[in-house]
Amino acid sequence: MKIYTKTGDEGTTGLFGGSRVQKNNIRIESYGTVDELNAYIGLIKDQEISQDVKKSLLKIQHDLFTLGAMLATPPEKETLKNGNERLNIPKIDAASIVFLENEIDQMETTLPQMTHFILPGGHTTVSFCHIARCVCRRAERLTVALHEEEPFNHTILMYLNRLSDYLFVLARKLSQDLSIAEIKWIPEKL
């Protein structure tokens, strides 16, 4: 399989199911941003962090590929026919959301209660988490816009919302693990 097909040279790309759309289509922006998020999660996973966190991040990367495939598939094409057999596109389900919630709950048991907003930073690894969280929020905004145009499985929106929460809590947990003080946002008085 060649990496270049030349089919996108005119500014279009193919979706699962065979239809073609412009590369700036909201569907492409949505799953492209999920792909960008997955790359940042890989960057976090490549840091000097615990094997347990790396294992969780690897699962999340697999889930994001599944989520991207869901976004790359117009709802009417979710079950494709290949000859006489049907190919079902994999789906993110409630179990993936519960996984994130359990991870968040587990990390929060060791964290101090938040009393202020927290500024991103303090350590490169923590900053990578905050960048990934921001990209996740952008992916969520784009998928909400897509959902308004072409409704799809609502679990995608729930997953992205929970993942941004996970990334925020992970940033706090990594600050603790790395003995880095959280930078509190304290508004200046006028």
Residue 175's pLDDT is what? 96
Residue 111's pLDDT band, with cuts at 50, 70 and 90, is: very high
Helices 124-149 and 155-177, interaxial angle, to 10°?
A: 170
What domains are defined for the chain?
Answer: 16-112+119-182 (1.20.1200.10)
List, for residues 28-87, the tens digit of each pLDDT value: 889 899 999 999 999 999 999 999 999 999 999 999 999 998 888 776 655 555 554 445
Is residue 130 scored above 90 in pLDDT?
yes
Task: Check if the beta carbon of residue 156 is closer than 8 Å to that of residue 92.
Answer: yes
Residue 151's pLDDT band, with cuts at 50, 70 and 90, is: confident
Token match 């347990």: residue?
Answer: 52
Distance CA 170, CA 173 (A): 5
Residue 148's pLDDT is what? 94
Cα R_g (the chain), whole angstroms: 19
Q: Select from 108, 120, 131, 129 the least CA-distant residue to 49.
A: 129
Percent of the chain with pLDDT over 70: 78
Report pTM: 0.86
What amino acid is encoded at 78 in this protein?
E
Q: What rounded mean pLDDT belongs to the chain?
A: 87
Distance CA 176, CA 182 (A): 8
Residue 13's pLDDT is what? 59
Residue 14's pLDDT is what? 58
Rounded to an integer, the average pLDDT of 158-171 is 98
Percent of the chain with pLDDT over 90: 63
